[in-house]
Every structure is written in C-alpha cells, then in structure tokens.
C-alpha cells in the first residue's frame, strides 16, 4: 500500500514538473457558461489565471488520496480539506472537472470514485459548490472551458 501511495504521489509530482516546464497554453475563458450553472460561478476559470493548466491546483489533493483509496474512511486526512478549499478559493474549482471526467485518475493511476469526491467536497469538508449533478453536467457539456490537466513542452529544435 505504501508503494501505491508513493506511486500516486510521484505521478502527481511528475505532472507538476511537466506543467512547470511546459510552454503556457491559451486557457479558455468562457465564464458566461459557468455563471449560468447553479453555483457555477465558483467553477469558472479565473479571469487572471496565471497558470493555464490544472496540475498545480490539483496537486493540493495529494493528502486526499487515502480517502479515495479506502472506502471505509469517513474523515478527511490531514491537509485534504485545506487543499480542496484552496482550489475553490483560488477560483480553480473548474479543475475539479478532471476528477469528474476521470482525467486525473487516468493520469496518476489512482481510482478516484466520483461519488466519493462529491462526498468529500460537500459532506466531509463542507465546501459549497454546485449540486453534484449540475457540476457533473457542466463539466461534461463544456469541456472546452476546463483548462487542460497539463501540457507537454514543445519539442526543442
């Protein structure tokens, strides 16, 4: 289990490194769509989003990995809720779409059940976002407004 945790953490760190050296991509700023979703104003990308990817924001979820791995866990690990709250407070909740769309799960190889993610966000951490179905629908129907998880650096000449 320790090696699985280390592998998940290592994968997140590699994604962060890739994002740090990547050329910034132009992020979509379709805020009107997110504002039309109930509670969606917390989901839209920040107008002054300096980072054009979500990997840096989602790295704050590293402490939450044990919660996702163990269905018997009913409390958030230390630092988990703070990380989630930081994502929402920084207007990066739209990056949580990478959990809903399973992009993060595929990238790091750690199963992140969507129902557990919603339980963690609202039930365990008490963070107010759009209702789960509205959030999931917004993520699915407007993928172009979700910044990429990471971008690959341009090949050197």
Give the model confidence (pLDDT) of 114-136 as tens digits: 999 999 999 999 999 888 899 99
**Residue 5 has what pLDDT?**
57
**b/e sequence 129-146, b meaning 16+ C-beta within 10 Å:** bbebeebbebbeebeebb
Question: What distance in Å separates the CA atoms of residue 22 and residue 39, rounded to the nearest whole number?
Answer: 32
Asked if the structure places residue 152 within a domain, the reply is no
Asked if residue 15 has pLDDT above 50, the reply is no
- Tell whether 154 is covered by a domain: no
**Does some domain include residue 18?**
yes
Query: Is residue 156 domain-resident?
Result: no
Range of the domain at 20: 2-145
pLDDT confidence bin for 40, thresholds 50/70/90: low
Work out how many domains the chain is built from and give that number: 1
What whole-number percentage of the chain has pLDDT above 90? 45
Is 155 among the domain residues? Answer: no
The answer to whether position 157 is within a domain reads no
Is 150 part of any domain? no
Tokens of 123: 């039930």
Under 8 Å between Cβ of 110 and 68: yes
């Amino acid at each position: 289990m320790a090696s699985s945790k280390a592998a998940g953490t290592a994968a997140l760190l590699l994604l962060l490194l890739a994002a740090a050296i990547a050329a910034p991509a132009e992020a979509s700023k379709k805020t009107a769509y997110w504002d039309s979703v109930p509670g969606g104003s917390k989901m839209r990308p920040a107008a002054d989003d300096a980072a054009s990817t979500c990997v840096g924001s989602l790295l704050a979820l590293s402490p939450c990995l044990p919660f996702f791995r163990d269905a018997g866990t009913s409390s958030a690990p230390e630092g988990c809720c703070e990380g989630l709250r930081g994502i929402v407070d920084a207007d990066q909740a739209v990056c949580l779409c990478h959990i809903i769309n399973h992009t993060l799960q595929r990238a790091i190889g750690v199963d992140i059940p969507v129902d557990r993610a919603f339980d963690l966000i609202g039930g365990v951490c008490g963070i107010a976002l759009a209702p789960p179905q509205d959030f999931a629908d917004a993520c699915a129907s407007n993928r172009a407004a979700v910044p990429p998880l990471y971008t690959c650096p341009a090949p050197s000449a």
